[in-house]
């Protein structure tokens, strides 16, 4: 049995489970899964940038926030139909990501990490600064989508399935993109930058576009988040969420499409379990589990699934992607320097 | 004019806070090539230990010294027991490990010592004095002195001792160094131990002013990161100068440029770094890297 | 059948098994109100046990101690209180999910003492829609009582920031007429609400704000803001901060020799968390308001309510009895206990009626301060505070209790 068959089977199970969720669980749990779907889209965007393109961003929460506030404002103040806000949030985040990317991507590794981290830190401040628009520290309640009368679905079920459909579209898009010529160029930039450029890949333009695309994904995720939670405030968009997205893609599996799903499940459910176990030691448990996950799953959950597939098929899995080697600048001390 | 000088002096005092932690970040980077997200929390944890000793009756100087030693040992243990496993692999995995360590230490400290804030005595006393209308504190001068002394000691260590040479070699090229007899593992442990001790020093230097609680270093970390980046991540003097530049420009902007205000003043140092890095991509004092094709 | 065909069937079977094994969705049950039985009352709370606001987890500790004490004494009409707390890390999306979980899964009788203005704004539409009592929210925003008809199930507890600001303005009009005020405030809902209240209250007086500086909770220090404020020509300093920054501001003012009338807001008035770290010598002459007894202040050592509180804290809680947030939680919990005792029926509506028609004395509040509500017009249970001045080693109450009804 081929690896391909196994992967299709796995995908069928995953999709089957995903579709059944709203009919099997109560509204609270379904709400959690809805949020997972939103986070998965953001994580996927980040993975395109970090896993596939070899760059780094510690600030994707900023684009997530941008998408969320765009959707919130369009729904509450411009009375736009909520569905329309999803692509609009994505496009705006794409544009801002592009504008940010042009200068930012002249930096590499650590310095890019720093600049994106600064963006994440500044996001709540910027939201508060423009409080005429954003309602600032009080936050803004947003009307959530309701199940249309002609569908026999409860509100939470409808919302979940809607989010699932949008997420599925985003995933399919990413998957087909990474398999195409463009995707190969993206990964070439990550793996062998100099040869790639000598072969005609426009490095700067590729990097900026990937950055913008990943920002766009985060923006779409932000809009989905607003549907799920119905409220935006600066406290929801601190550095924590940016770092959570990073943790999600590493736990899920860098440079994989499906990894984003597992990463999103991790960052949504593990903190809740950790605080259920002991509310005085939440962080100890969550941090510990995170470290343990790195020990046990060096390739993320997707890497683990790959191993399982190899065992079942009794042959090495398809060479999907090469191991990503994220560039860090100046490892150690270059010779002749204090 | 007095006011202007006061702003600069205050900026250097604040900048020294960032510089102190930045030194520890730089040391980790120089010895193991990664940014340790948990550096601040390790420093905070060490500061709590110092506080515990002091509150238990140990004289301040001895408490601090003991803490430095304990932190050194703990740093080595963390490298050997945790970080070693991930070295040479995917960098991001290690970054996430340090993130996990950050979360863990923060929560552990809270569980042990509670989440409220408390005072921490200053090694240099509390007094202030006036020089030509500008107010200075012995504490700030003391911190600056300690920072410069540490930079000097690090210079001596890395440039003038065999061990320092071995550490640099182990960081730059572990394989080759191992072949010529450098105990790479030992050097890495040493690097982490030193960085942990430096972090502890940073903690006891800044806690008197910032007050000690579990979030002591959380807000300082990004400034320290920025200071290290501005200075070029592999330069100790760069980290200190970077910290001062950030402290001073932030203060100047906050004082004289009204539309920036206190909420956005963090963007000022970052804008500066941005500009500096566009012109000098490896920071003010860093080394240019040449890539072999 | 081909191998891949078999595999697809396997997948289908797995899904079918999942469906069969899983618990289906439950319909809403009819019958009595959830969360209350003959032996138990379930109360739910969402607090920042982790994250930047983790210092406030002491509030939950104090509340828990009170509920444990009441349970040890037999409960309320034989019903023991089961206080379920969840962590929201001060993040609104987590608060929203906690509210859903408490109401839908845990089926609590009422939500109690949720912390943080944004978190409560995030959930109050949902909680009111579900017709669940949303009681004694742990924030001083004036929102909660401003329009009870819109959110009838929600009510605050502490004197709100606007009446606190009014108390300071009244004090200044008497003691420092024509005051020129420099303000340091935290740039969030709490800080802005207090500042807004102050700005509103000085309208029509000859008090003016001559300098204003804000800071973020994520800032390491407020030293540059303090330097700027000290450089102004103010004769009064209004310190709107949370404990860590309050301590920094007080220490900075002292170091800078900034000898003005220093008003510190109630949240940062704690001897344990603010004044002792800043230094008692730096804290002489500080003005604040109080509505509960400060457990770190020696003057209440012989007070029977304080003794009861401290012994229960030592017995039932890991928290520090001198932590002002603990006694705050304790007081709010006591109020809830009274409301539950005075319920005419074991229903949520009856609880709300009891909450909205109450006139009781909660012993850890200052003498002269009662918890009073009278129907839907009055959304503020505690509307009285008293000015206090720090002298020597303790806070000294000044003047009379100020009743500041809205």
pLDDT for the residue numbered A330? 38
Which band of pLDDT confidence, cut at 50, 70 and 90, is reported for residue C30? low
Evaluate if residue A119 carries a pLDDT over 60. yes
* Range scoring the smallest mean pLDDT among A44-48, B5-9, B125-129, C283-287: B125-129
* Minimum-distance CB partner of C219 among B11, B209, B219: B219
| Cross-chain residue pair A279–C49, CB shorter than 8 Å | yes
pLDDT for the residue numbered A149? 86
pLDDT for the residue numbered A331? 41
Is the domain of C143 the same as that of C172? Answer: no
What confidence tens digit (pLDDT) does each residue in C302-358 have?
A: 999 999 999 999 999 988 999 999 999 999 999 999 999 999 999 999 999 999 999
- Please state, rounded to an integer, the average pLDDT across all residues of chain C: 90
Is the domain of C323 the same as that of C275? Answer: no
- Please state, rounded to an integer, the average pLDDT across all residues of chain B: 88
* Range scoring the smallest mean pLDDT among A35-44, A105-114, A222-231, B242-251: A105-114
Tell me the percentage of chain A whose pLDDT exceeds 90.
Answer: 57
What confidence tens digit (pLDDT) does each residue in C34-65 have?
A: 999 989 999 999 999 988 888 999 999 999 99
Cα gap C387→C399, rounded to integer Å: 7
CB atoms within 10 A of CB A304: 15
Q: Which element (helix H / strand E) includes C12?
A: helix C3-21
| Cross-chain residue pair A28–C49, CB shorter than 8 Å | no
Answer whether C54 touches B (CB < 8 Å).
Answer: yes
Is the domain of C184 the same as that of C117? Answer: no
| Cross-chain residue pair B262–C278, CB shorter than 8 Å | no
Evaluate if residue A295 carries a pLDDT over 80. yes
C256 lies in which domain range?
162-290
Residue of B nearest to A106 (CA): B278
**Mean pLDDT (whole number) for C152-163:** 92
Evaluate if residue C146 carries a pLDDT over 60. yes
Evaluate if residue C28 carries a pLDDT over 70. no
**Which of B160-174, C24-38, C73-87, C367-381 is predicted most confidently?**
C73-87
pLDDT for the residue numbered C11? 64
Which band of pLDDT confidence, cut at 50, 70 and 90, is reported for residue A325? very low
DSSP states of A110-151: HHHHHHHHHHHHHHHHHHHHTHHHH-GGG-EE-PPP---TTS
pLDDT for the residue numbered C5? 63
B16 lies in which domain range?
2-216
Tally of domains within chain B: 1
In a domain, C86, yes or no: yes
Is the domain of C284 the same as that of C307? Answer: no
Answer whether B213 touches C (CB < 8 Å).
Answer: yes
Nearest CA to C254 among C280, C228, C290, C218? C280
Tally of domains within chain A: 1
With contacts defined as CB-CB under 8 Å, which chain B residues touch A125?
263-264, 266
| Cross-chain residue pair A12–C188, CB shorter than 8 Å | no
Suggest the residue from A10, A13, A235 to mutate for an interface test with chain C (most C CBs closer than 10 A).
A235
Evaluate if residue B279 carries a pLDDT over 90. no
A34 lies in which domain range?
3-313
Evaluate if residue A90 carries a pLDDT over 70. yes
In a domain, A330, yes or no: no
Report the interhelical angle of C324-341 vs C348-356 (nearest 10°): 110
With contacts defined as CB-CB under 8 Å, which chain B residues touch C272?
116
In a domain, C358, yes or no: yes
pLDDT for the residue numbered C9? 66
CB atoms within 10 A of CB C16: 11
Q: Domain of C342: which CATH number? A: 3.40.50.2300
Last residue of a domain, one of C290, C320, C349: C290
Residue carrying structure tokens 């000898």: C259
In a domain, C2, yes or no: no
In a domain, A128, yes or no: yes
Which band of pLDDT confidence, cut at 50, 70 and 90, is reported for residue A318? low
Q: Which element (helix H / strand E) includes C331?
A: helix C324-341
Is the domain of C329 the same as that of C244? Answer: no
Tell me the percentage of chain A whose pLDDT exceeds 70.
Answer: 93
What confidence tens digit (pLDDT) does each residue in A2-31 have?
A: 778 888 888 888 999 999 999 989 899 999
* Minimum-distance CB partner of C213 among B7, B211, B262: B262
pLDDT for the residue numbered C250? 96
Which band of pLDDT confidence, cut at 50, 70 and 90, is reported for residue A278? confident
Which one has a higher pLDDT value, B179 or B73? Answer: B73
In a domain, B94, yes or no: yes
Tally of domains within chain C: 2
In a domain, B166, yes or no: yes
In a domain, A327, yes or no: no
Which band of pLDDT confidence, cut at 50, 70 and 90, is reported for residue A327? very low
Residue of A nearest to B31 (CA): A332
ipTM field: 0.89
In a domain, B269, yes or no: no
**Mean pLDDT (whole number) for C211-222:** 90
* Range scoring the smallest mean pLDDT among A300-309, C66-75, C263-272: A300-309
Tell me the percentage of chain C whose pLDDT exceeds 70.
Answer: 92
In a domain, C35, yes or no: no
Which band of pLDDT confidence, cut at 50, 70 and 90, is reported for residue C298? confident
**Mean pLDDT (whole number) for A218-240:** 95
Which band of pLDDT confidence, cut at 50, 70 and 90, is reported for residue A134? confident
Which one has a higher pLDDT value, A188 or B47? Answer: B47
pLDDT for the residue numbered C13? 66
Which band of pLDDT confidence, cut at 50, 70 and 90, is reported for residue A328? very low
Evaluate if residue B280 carries a pLDDT over 80. no
In a domain, A301, yes or no: yes
Is the domain of C267 the same as that of C309? Answer: no
Evaluate if residue B36 carries a pLDDT over 70. yes
Is the domain of C151 the same as that of C170? Answer: no
- Please state, rounded to an integer, the average pLDDT across all residues of chain A: 87
| Cross-chain residue pair B116–C220, CB shorter than 8 Å | no
């Amino acid at each position: 049995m081929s690896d391909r068959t196994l992967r299709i089977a796995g995908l069928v199970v995953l999709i089957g489970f995903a579709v059944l969720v709203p009919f099997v669980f109560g509204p609270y749990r379904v709400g959690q899964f809805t949020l997972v779907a939103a986070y998965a889209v953001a994580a996927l965007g980040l993975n395109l940038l970090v896993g596939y393109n070899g760059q780094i961003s510690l600030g994707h929460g900023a684009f997530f926030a941008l998408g969320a506030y765009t959707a919130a404002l369009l729904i509450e103040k411009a009375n736009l139909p909520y569905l329309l806000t999803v692509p609009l949030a994505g496009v705006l985040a794409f544009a801002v990501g592009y504008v940010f990317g042009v200068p930012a991507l002249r930096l590499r590794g650590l310095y890019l990490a720093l600049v994106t981290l600064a963006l994440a830190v500044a996001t709540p401040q910027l939201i508060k600064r423009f409080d005429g628009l954003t309602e600032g520290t009080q936050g803004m309640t947003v009307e959530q989508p309701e199940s249309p009368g002609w569908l026999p679905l409860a509100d939470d079920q409808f919302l979940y399935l809607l989010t699932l459909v949008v997420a599925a579209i985003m995933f399919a898009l990413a998957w087909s993109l990474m398999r195409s010529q463009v995707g190969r160029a993206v990964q070439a930039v990550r793996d062998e930058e100099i040869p790639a450029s000598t072969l005609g890949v426009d490095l700067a333009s590729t990097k900026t576009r990937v950055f913008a695309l990943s920002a766009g994904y985060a923006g779409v995720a932000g809009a989905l988040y607003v549907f799920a939670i119905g409220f935006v405030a600066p406290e929801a968009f601190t550095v924590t969420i940016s770092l959570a997205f990073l943790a999600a893609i590493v736990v899920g599996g860098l440079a994989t499409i499906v990894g984003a799903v597992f990463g999103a499940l991790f960052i949504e459910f593990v903190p809740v379990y950790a605080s259920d176990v002991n509310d005085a030691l939440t962080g100890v448990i969550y941090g510990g589990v995170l470290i343990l996950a790195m020990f046990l799953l060096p390739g993320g959950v997707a890497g683990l699934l790959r191993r399982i597939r190899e065992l079942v098929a009794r042959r090495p899995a398809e060479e999907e992607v090469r191991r990503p080697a994220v560039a860090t600048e100046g490892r150690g001390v270059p010779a002749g320097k204090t | 004019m007095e006011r202007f000088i006061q702003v600069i002096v205050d900026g250097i005092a604040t900048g020294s806070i960032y510089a102190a932690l930045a030194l520890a970040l730089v040391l980790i980077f120089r010895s193991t090539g990664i940014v340790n997200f948990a550096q601040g929390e390790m420093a905070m944890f060490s500061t709590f230990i110092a506080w515990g000793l002091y509150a238990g009756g140990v004289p301040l100087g001895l408490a601090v010294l003991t803490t430095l030693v304990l932190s050194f040992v703990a740093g080595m243990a963390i490298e050997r027991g945790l970080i070693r496993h991930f070295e040479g692999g995917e960098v991001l995995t290690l970054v996430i490990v340090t993130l996990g360590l950050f979360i863990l230490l923060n929560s552990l400290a809270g569980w042990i010592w509670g989440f409220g804030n408390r005072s921490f005595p200053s090694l240099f006393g509390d007094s202030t004095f006036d020089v030509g209308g500008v107010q200075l504190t012995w504490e700030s001068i003391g911190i600056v002195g300690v920072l410069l002394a540490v930079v000097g000691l690090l210079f001596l260590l890395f440039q003038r001792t065999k061990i320092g040479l071995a550490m640099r070699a182990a960081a730059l090229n572990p394989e080759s160094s191992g072949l010529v007899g450098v105990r790479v593992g030992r050097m890495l442990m040493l690097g982490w131990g030193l960085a942990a001790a430096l972090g502890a020093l940073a903690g006891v230097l800044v806690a008197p002013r910032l007050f000690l609680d579990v979030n002591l270093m959380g807000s300082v970390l990004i400034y320290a990161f920025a200071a290290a980046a501005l200075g070029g991540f592999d330069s100790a003097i760069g980290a200190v100068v970077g910290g001062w530049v950030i402290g001073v420009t932030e203060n100047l902007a906050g004082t004289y440029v009204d539309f920036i205000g206190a909420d956005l003043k963090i963007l000022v140092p970052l804008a500066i770094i941005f500009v500096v890095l566009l012109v000098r991509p490896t920071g003010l004092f860093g080394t240019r890297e040449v890539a072999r094709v | 059948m081909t191998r891949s065909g078999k595999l697809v069937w396997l997948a289908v079977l797995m899904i079918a098994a999942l469906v069969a094994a899983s618990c289906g969705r439950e319909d809403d049950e009819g019958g009595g109100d959830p969360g209350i039985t003959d032996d138990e009352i379930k109360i739910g709370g969402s607090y920042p046990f982790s994250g930047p606001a983790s210092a406030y987890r002491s509030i939950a500790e104090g509340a828990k101690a009170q509920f444990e004490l009441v349970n040890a004494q037999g409960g309320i009409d034989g019903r023991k209180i089961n206080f379920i707390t969840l962590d929201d890390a001060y993040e609104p999306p987590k608060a929203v999910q906690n509210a859903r979980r408490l109401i839908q899964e845990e089926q609590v009788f009422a939500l109690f003492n949720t912390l943080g203005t944004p978190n409560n704004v995030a959930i109050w539409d949902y909680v009111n829609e579900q017709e669940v009592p949303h009681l004694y929210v742990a924030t001083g925003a004036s929102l909660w009582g401003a329009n009870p008809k819109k959110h009838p199930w929600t009510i605050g507890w502490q004197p709100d920031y606007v009446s606190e600001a009014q108390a300071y303005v009244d004090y200044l009009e008497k003691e420092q007429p024509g005051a020129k005020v420099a303000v340091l405030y935290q740039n969030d809902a709490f800080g802005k609400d207090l500042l807004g209240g102050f700005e509103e209250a000085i309208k029509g007086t000859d008090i003016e704000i001559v300098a204003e500086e804000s800071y973020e909770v994520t800032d390491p220090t407020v030293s540059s803001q303090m330097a700027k404020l000290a450089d102004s020509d103010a004769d009064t300093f209004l310190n709107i901060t949370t404990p860590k920054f309050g301590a920094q501001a007080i220490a900075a003012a002292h170091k800078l020799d900034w000898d003005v009338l220093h008003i510190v807001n109630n949240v940062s008035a704690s001897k344990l968390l603010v004044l002792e770290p800043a230094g008692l010598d730096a804290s002489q002459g500080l003005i604040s308001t109080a509505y509960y007894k400060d457990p770190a202040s020696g003057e209440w050592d012989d007070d029977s309510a304080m003794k009861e509180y401290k012994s229960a804290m030592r017995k039932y809680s890991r928290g520090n009895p001198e932590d002002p947030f603990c006694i705050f939680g304790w007081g709010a919990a006591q109020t809830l206990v009274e409301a539950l005792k005075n319920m005419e029926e074991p229903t949520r509506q009856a609880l709300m009626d009891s909450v909205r028609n109450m006139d009781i004395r909660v012993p850890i509040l200052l003498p002269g301060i009662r918890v009073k509500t009278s129907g839907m017009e009055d959304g503020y249970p505690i509307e009285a505070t008293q000015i206090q001045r720090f002298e020597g080693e303790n806070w000294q109450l000044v003047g009379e209790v100020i009743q500041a009804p809205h």
